[in-house]
Amino acid sequence: MIGKKTMLRTVNEAAKNAQGQVHQHVLNEIQREFDELTTKITSLRSDDNCVETDLEQLQTKINKLNDELNDSKGFHRVELNFPNLDCSNIVQIKLIEE
């Protein structure tokens, strides 16, 4: 028989798993943006065709990424989706015959 502690442990494990997925998603997204930024900087540098607007755009992007890294609200990119659950059927009771 599954007790209250077992159910709470299962819910906590699911929450920790979801939290890990959120963290990984955010890290992957930030890494992707840094990679794009690095590619853009490398391209501008190799072309030697950089104008002031390019530098302003790069600075804006760097500032945005820096703000996201320093802001705990950087998880705005993630939408949590909870499936519709019929909670009345989560726990089932089974009588044990003696």
Q: What is the pLDDT of residues 58-84, one digit of tens each?
A: 899 888 888 877 775 555 556 667 666
Mean pLDDT value across residues 33-50: 85
Tokens representing 82? 């909870």
How confident is the model at residue 96, as a pLDDT? 77
**In the chain, where the domains are located:** 4-76
Which is higher by pLDDT, 8 or 96? 8
- pTM, rounded to two decimals: 0.59
Cα→Cα distances 85→18, 35, 89, Å: 17, 39, 9
